[in-house]
Amino acid sequence: MKLRRVVVTGLGAITPLGNNVTDYWNNLLNGVSGAAPITRFDASKFKTQFACEVKGFNPEEYFDRKEARKLDPFSQYGLASAMQAMKDAGLEKGKYDSDRGGVIWGSGIGGLQTFQDECFNFAKGDGTPRFNPFFIPKMIADICSGHISIMFGLRGPNFTTVSACASSTNSLIDAFNYIKLNKADFFVAGGSEAAVCEAGVGGFNAMHALSTRNDSPSTASRPFDVDRDGFVLGEGAGCLILEELEHALKRGAKIYGEIAGGGMSADANHITAPHPEGLGALNVMRSALADAGMTPDQIDYVNVHGTSTPLGDVSETKAILGVFGDHAFKLNISSTKSMTGHLLGAAGAIEAIASILAVKNDIVPPTINHFNVDPTLDSKFNFTFNKAQKREVRAALSNTFGFGGHNASVIVKKYIA
């Protein structure tokens, strides 16, 4: 069976750096931090009082008020990004085969805000079970993919990938594979998350996972810096339209780039800590290269998981060195989480967007907030510190690793006819 080629024809984004792809990308290149004191609730008693919130998002620009109230923020962000991506791809409802289009969406948590609010309301009451009839449909993690399919009438494969912070990279890999195998012609793929609430911040604080640099939120996410002290919680959504090449060419679609391959692995080590030698990360990158039929020297940029945790950044660099050897020092490496924070299940989607735009535009976004060298990291790595760098980017690899030891990597490359 001849495998089909898969390209990216549309992008959409709701992020802490902007509520469209253009603003998101420009702020990445300019090294803007999305971190600031939390406005969503009173965080004064929390160990961490800041986050990378989505700013200025008005759901009524996308839905009427009645419909918006039926959607948890994670679904609002996801639907908005999908609407942007479908418009960007030029896929107008009624002008495509609905049976050949599908949705695969990622979310690590789903409707956490809704779940929290309903529990709070019940606890404040007299014990009588009064719950919103939309409680369950707003909260379940798969609901955003359902809403997207309903909105665009897509009757092809439809499901949600849940693998913590690897969720939306898994969604892209699954969509890529279904198209390759002729199960569909295009997919709305990506992910969304909205965990900036009391339960989200409090839960991650209890794990000692978040930075507590409350005196300087904008510099708190500092991957590969010796003084890094945890990640910054982010929220938002990213959407990519993945499409079979001939289907895209036939309708004259613009092509951002090509999906070359994807890999998946497990650490099988610890529920939250990475493998100390980066074994799972090493395996997933090798798997992605093998799937793409590429050699390590064909990759120019790695968008790392790079969360700014003491253990994670070290294990990932060990894995990169293990996979790429001396070519590791010719790569540009950057963590865009230094600017966006960590979007959990949506991280892979917005980072895949950053990767494909790096390939398209031959420029690598920076890792900001580097102040002090970590002597445990090899000084020959180019972490693209503090300033974007122009270079030829033939192909980029994007890493995402999740609690539970879930690892996923996707490779994007320039489209060549």
- Residues forming the active site: 165, 305, 342
Tokens of residue 108, six digits: 């690590």
Provide the residue type at 46 as one letter.
F
DSSP 3-state of 337: helix
Name residue, tokens 């986050």: 51
The Cα 58–Cα 84 span in angstroms is: 14
The overall longest dimension of the chain from CA atoms, in Å, is 66
The angle subtended at Cα 36 by Cα 31 and Cα 39, nearest 5°, is: 145
DSSP structure string for 5-22? PEEEEEEEEEBTTBSSHH
The Cα 155–Cα 72 span in angstroms is: 23
DSSP 3-state of 151: helix
Q: How far is CA 171 from CA 163, 192, 304, 400, in A?
A: 10, 11, 18, 12
